[in-house]
Chain A
Amino acid sequence: MPNLQQRSILNRLFEAPAIGKMAPGTALFVYGLLLVWSLVVLFPLYWVLITSVKSAVDVNSGPVYLPWIDFQPSLHAWRELLVIDYEDTLRSYINSIIIALLSTLLCIIVGSMAAYALARISYKPKFGNILIFVLAMIAGCYTVWKYGVDWKISIAVAVAIWFFLVKSIGRYFTRSVGNGDILFWMISQRILPPIVTVVPIYMMFQNLRMLDTHLALILTYTVVNLPIVIWLMYDFMNSIPIELEESAQLDGASRFRTFWEIVLPLAKPGLAATTLLILILAWNEYILAVFLSTSKAQTIPILVSAMNAGERGILWWSMCVVIVIMIIPVVFMAILLQRFISKGVLLGAVKG
């Protein structure tokens, strides 16, 4: 057995003293790298923060790093956006809050209901019925396109024909698709780049005179984020023991009550993590907002890019103020909900 004294310095630095502990050299290395990455993460944020209190001269004359030492911080951009010109900022901010919150809420409700249903109820839509539906819709679209029929009438007729056919000849079809196929179909919607669907959505809302309204953005965001909710919540619902629900159903609770009073409370950690993720996505979404909102429903990411449009060039200081006030609420939420995220809630769905 080698004597401790004879070991070289290097060995002592890099050999773990005990299981589950780090050698001093390794510790130095690990903490060093972690600090470097913290700097990489925090420095851009620091730069945005100090740019928001710089004057135009300080921004344009070259880099200055430390407030009160390098330059005199001033709140002129903050005052301009929050006091003098507060209407525009406030409106965008409130729009963003309304749209992000409502679309997240809708998305979570619809998504977790669908996820629960797919995890617990077995669906067997007949293959033939789906085919008829697709054909009816194609026929409906064709009549609108070719003969200029009003689209509401044509859709209504198509749905009525489909319903009639399903009721009459539906039972002769035998092949059906299962829950797994429905789940895959829903999740695969996430592959769609928004740019593919946004032009028709734009025209649809234009047709309904709903462009630049909150509802248009709420619905669109909901659908864009729905696949994520279904995916994450499906796995979570599957991991909830089924016995509780069965005993509730034996006691005569309806499925809605079981869902509301037993499943949802048990799924809370998953709901929290999913909510945070969807909220972040809805809060930060830009490209759909560009298409669907112009002034009334303008969200705050649009306000950020609006600081670029003036003839004075980019108003870096104002832009940084907007970015800072955009980040603050999300960071608070994340700190509140971080224990749910770190618990590996998102992991469940990813395990495959």
Chain B
Amino acid sequence: MTNPPRSRSARFSEWLDQQSSTLFITPAVLLILIFSIFPLVASLIIAFSRFRLRAGSYQVRWVGFRNFEKQFFGSEQFHFLGTFKGMSLFGWVVAIAVGIALIYWLYRYCRRQFWWLGFIGRIISALMFFGLALLFCATLLSGHQFGTLGVTLFYVFAGCSTQFAIGLGLALLCAQPIHGRTFFRVIFFIPLMITPIGIGYAFRMLADTSKGPFSPLWQWFGLGDFSWSTDPWAARVFIVIGDSWQWIPFVFIILLAAIENIPKDHQEAAQVDGASGWQIFREITWPQLLPVAATVMLIRLIEAFKLVDLPNIMTAGGPGIATESMSLHSYFAWRSLDLGQSAAIAYLLLFVTVVLCVSFFNYVVIGRLRNNPT
């Protein structure tokens, strides 16, 4: 049996089919290589050099670790880490307590199962946590200013926990047998669709204590002259509120879907047996919700480290540097054409993000999944 002579297009399409496994994935790989991996490497080179823009071109000079040195020990230390002027007793106590807790954690890991890669990973995480705890104790607990690193961590933890608490609460409320569920769902989803800039400016209007909508309330409390953007803590909380307003819908919509996916019969059986609402939640809903909740928080954690629009618009990093996140710090450095500094800060941010997110994923998410094989 002989094959009939085939046309060129048929041969081409056959060749195409043979190559399809490569062709399917190549565009994604190429795009990521060009726009993600190459810039990552280039950024690393910039972080180790002094970079000057000249008319039409630029000049790169290798300076080694000087950019990083400046952040940790040099003239930018107050900006990045915070002000150190001796640690208070309380700070010492907390730092030592954290250190002991971490050593115990490592010790427990070594006792249970030992794998050298896991051990190294845990040492890195523990060192990172201890460093951050030390930073926290030396600045905040000793009554000094903290820098952009501390501010970023504040945004991440305060923002994520607020969003999780309120998002979970709303999801539980919406999972009740209520009328107009679709209506509430659409309404609650809206903030996610608004540009962060719009949210920033809208909250600036709302927070205005003299011309904003709540100004009679402020005046009534005798706080008419109070301004959110002059008090460091008020300004930080204000930004967390704006960020939470935007991202609660995301947590809400996914947790609601997860709750609705849980089979109803367990709950109803428990109800028949006379379990209280809290018992049902703790024993039935929560364990089944946990894997989804952990992953949602991982996504939020990753995104929260990148926060830049809101502080830029709501307070422009002020008062002083009180609300500057690391992304914003890097952006400001870029705007003053100090590209080396900018890249160095960005890399530090990447390092902190990766270590914290990987730690969260490895010790919390996977641990939970293992404990609850659902």
Report which A residues bind B (CB closer than 8 A): 16, 19-22, 26-27, 30-31, 33-34, 37-38, 40-45, 47-48, 51, 59-63, 65, 110-111, 113-114, 116-118, 121, 123, 137, 141, 145, 182, 186, 189-201, 203-204, 219-220, 222-223, 226, 230, 254-256, 259, 280, 283-284, 286-287, 291, 301, 304-305, 308, 314, 316, 319, 323, 326-327, 330-331, 334-335, 338, 341-344, 346-347, 350-352
Contact = CB atoms under 8 A, between A and B. Distances in A.
B268 interface: yes
A254 B16 contact: yes
Interface stretch (B88-96, B124-132, B306-314): B306-314
Interface of B: 13, 16-17, 20-21, 24-25, 27-29, 31-32, 34-36, 38-43, 45-46, 58, 60, 169-170, 173-174, 176-178, 182, 184-199, 201-203, 205-206, 210-216, 245, 253-254, 256-258, 260-261, 268, 271-272, 291-292, 294-296, 299, 302, 305-306, 308-309, 313, 327, 330-331, 334, 339, 342-343, 346-347, 349-350, 353-354, 357, 365, 369
A20 B295 contact: no
A256 B20 contact: yes
B197 A304 contact: yes
Given A16-B271, A47-B213, A123-B25, A201 B39 contact: yes
A193 B206 contact: no
Contact of A63 (B215, B295, B296): B215
Contact of B24 (A41, A116, A198, A334): A116
B268 A63 contact: no
A121 B215 contact: no
A60 B216 CA distance: 15
A191 B25 contact: no
Contact of A230 (B28, B199, B213): B28
A259 B20 CA distance: 11
A19 B170 contact: no
A41 B191 contact: yes
B306 A203 contact: no
B202 A256 contact: no
Given A190-B302, A192-B36, A352-B291, A338 B353 contact: no
Can you list the 7 inter-chain pairs with the closest CB atoms, starting with the nearest? A344-B257, A200-B42, A117-B24, A114-B28, A197-B39, A200-B39, A284-B195
A131 B46 CA distance: 23
B327 A195 contact: yes
A41 B32 contact: no
B173 A30 contact: yes
Nearest to B216: A63
B319 to A, nearest CB: 19
Contacts of B354: 191
B206 A44 contact: yes
Nearest to A316: B205
Given A145-B60, A254-B16, A352 B205 contact: no
A193 B182 contact: no
Contacts of B343: 196, 199
A283 B186 contact: no
A284 to B, nearest CB: 4
Contacts of A33: 169, 173
B330 A195 contact: yes
Given A63-B212, A191-B354, A351-B291, A199 B339 contact: yes
A144 to B, nearest CB: 11
B170 A37 contact: yes
Contact of B261 (A111, A331, A347): A347
Secondary structure dominating the interface of B: helix
Contacts of A51: 205
Contact of A34 (B35, B182, B184): B184
A287 B309 contact: yes
A254 B13 contact: yes
A310 B141 CA distance: 42
B39 A196 contact: yes
B106 to A, nearest CB: 25
A118 B195 CA distance: 33
29 contacts: A27-B178, A33-B173, A34-B173, A38-B187, A44-B203, A62-B211, A110-B27, A113-B25, A113-B28, A114-B24, A190-B302, A193-B327, A200-B39, A204-B39, A254-B16, A254-B17, A254-B20, A255-B17, A291-B334, A301-B198, A304-B195, A326-B194, A342-B182, A342-B185, A343-B257, A344-B258, A344-B261, A346-B254, A352-B295
Given A114-B24, A199-B343, A346-B253, A226 B31 contact: yes
Contact of A326 (B198, B260, B331): B198
Contact of B194 (A16, A137, A195, A327): A327
Contacts of B245: 40-41, 44
A191 B302 contact: yes
A117 B29 CA distance: 12
B225 to A, nearest CB: 15
Nearest to A64: B213
Given A62-B215, A200-B42, A319-B201, A110 B193 contact: no
Given A40-B245, A63-B212, A200-B46, A192 B350 contact: yes
Given A123-B25, A316-B205, A347 B40 contact: no
A223 B216 CA distance: 47
Contacts of A330: 193-194
A305 B313 contact: yes
Contacts of B271: 16, 19
A347 B254 contact: yes
Contacts of A31: 178
A305 B314 CA distance: 12
A219 B214 CA distance: 43
Given A44-B206, A113-B25, A200 B177 contact: no
Question: Which of A22, A43, A350 is the most central at the interface, judged by chain B CB atoms within 10 Å of its CB?
Answer: A350
Given A30-B178, A42-B187, A350 B254 contact: yes
A203 B38 CA distance: 12
Contacts of A45: 190, 194, 202
Contacts of B357: 191
B350 A193 contact: yes
